[in-house]
Amino acid sequence: MLTVRVIPRAGRSGLAGMRGGDLLVRLTAPPVDGAANAELVELLAAVLHVPKRAVTIVSGERSRIKRVRIDGVDDRRIESLLQRQRG
């Protein structure tokens, strides 16, 4: 489970570090008709090397702060992959 803080309509998509214990993610998509949520799922799947179906937004679909579940990888692997992307 990850807590993600989303910044929609950013200049480019990508991980932007941590803020208050939450993963900060910038997305180019606007928060309209689920576009930002879809881009978030695609981005996290690509970064974590899992299929899109393994990434589920559990709560916060209409909020900037979201709880995301990633199936198929353990917490240590997620943290390792995210550290590599951020660093």
DSSP, residue by residue, 3-57: EEEEE-S-SS-EEEEEETTEEEEE-SS-SSTTHHHHHHHHHHHHHHT--GGGEEE
Please report the pLDDT score of residue 29 as a whole number: 97
- Tell me the domains of the chain and their CATH numbers: 2-86 (3.30.1200.10)
Task: Please determine, for residue 17, whether its predicted confidence score (pLDDT) is greater than 90.
Answer: no
Residue 87's pLDDT band, with cuts at 50, 70 and 90, is: low
Task: Please determine, for residue 19, whether its predicted confidence score (pLDDT) is greater than 90.
Answer: no
pLDDT tens for 47-78 read 989 999 999 999 999 999 999 999 988 888 77
More confident residue, 26 or 20: 26
